[in-house]
A = this chain, B = another copy of it.
Amino acid sequence: MKPVSNGPSAQYRIQAVARLSGVPAPTLRAWERRYGIPSPQRTESSYRLYTEADVDLVRRLKALCDQGMAPSQAAEVVRRIAEAEPTTTVDLPTDAWQVAAGQIIDAVQRFDPTALEMAVQRSMLLGSARTIFDKVFAPALRRIGDEWHAGHLSIAQEHMASEYLGNATRELLRLVQPTAPLRTVVLACVAGEYHVMALYGTALHFVQWGYRVVILGVDTPAEALADSVASLHPHAIGLSATQAHPKEQFAQLLTRYADAVGTTPWVIGGHGANQHGALINRLGGILARQGQDPEAVRDALETRLRERRIEAAGA
């Protein structure tokens, strides 16, 4: 989609930028006229030619505006960022998210906490919370995990990355958590499970679907889930199981959880759940398969909720 030409980076005309950034062309012109951001090059016939970096600026601007900042002020902020790091313009044919993930991985490889913090903070302006997680944090973490397994990164580096990206993700979640809740979903890691990132990723999806999310965190026993169902009456339950379990043990574990949630629809995801689709199905749960379109999970869940409403009405 983007010409991967070498040398100077690809150039876009105004409509293309409008499509890429989601900002209408007239508005782009207005922003340029009023705030001077961005200031694309011109052809001899004075057509605007935006570079990848210009598109990036527009995206940041839009992100800030979406956050509630006034365009004029957002422009001021972006201008300062742009001046502070004049080398942002990477000539590689990558999009902003890939660049951000790359900067994060790079900081981890150099074991540089300060650079990592900066890279993470910069990423947080690159779109909606879910986008940032799905396109920056999650890929970065996956890559870091791979590098660690391959022996290219130390445990300490992996720990540091988890800590910083975990914090950033929690921050994202806090920022988007709605104030006027509609439906509630309780999220938790199964007993013995201490990896929390997948849970937060799921949380961001649920928030986007209009749920309020209550997170019980790592290593949550079945009783705790039962308690929360009794007190909060959530519309759904989400479980995360990253670690692999032997079939028999997993069946035992899951049966306890299925009992605990009662008739509340529940979803489970993560590596540890992936191969147990039949079991999960039998226990009345929904498996969120890795790599699967999240919307499919949502559909399955909505169906359960509808069924449940009908039952309730019938009873």
Q: Interface residue tally of chain A, by bracket?
A: 35 or more
The segment from A87-95, A152-160, A269-277 found at the interface with B is A152-160
In the bound complex, CA of A68 to CA of B163 (Å): 28
Q: Which residues of B contact A117 (CB under 8 A)?
A: 177
Q: Decide yes or no whether A84 CB sits under 8 A from chain B.
A: yes
A interface SS class: helix
Q: Decide yes or no whether A10 CB sits under 8 A from chain B.
A: yes
Q: Which residues of B contact A218 (CB under 8 A)?
A: 194
In the bound complex, CA of A12 to CA of B73 (Å): 7
Q: Could you tell me which residues of chain A, from 47 to 83, have a CB within 8 Å of some CB in chain B? A: 49, 64, 68-70, 73, 76-77, 80-81
CB distance from A150 to the nearest CB of B (A): 16
In the complex the two chains form, is A217's CB within 8 Å of B159's CB?
yes
Interface string of A94-126 (1 = CB under 8 A from B): 000000000000000001011001000110000
Q: Decide yes or no whether A6 CB sits under 8 A from chain B.
A: yes
In the complex the two chains form, is B159's CB within 8 Å of A19's CB?
no
Q: How many copies does the complex hold?
A: 2
Q: Could you tell me which residues of chain A, from 36 to 51, have a CB within 8 Å of some CB in chain B? A: 49
In the complex the two chains form, is A111's CB within 8 Å of B68's CB?
no
In the complex the two chains form, is B157's CB within 8 Å of A167's CB?
no
**A residues near B, CB below 8 A?**
5-8, 10-13, 15-16, 19-20, 49, 64, 68-70, 73, 76-77, 80-81, 84, 111, 113-114, 117, 121-122, 154-157, 159-160, 162-163, 166-167, 170-171, 174, 177, 181, 188, 194, 212, 214-221, 223-228, 231-232
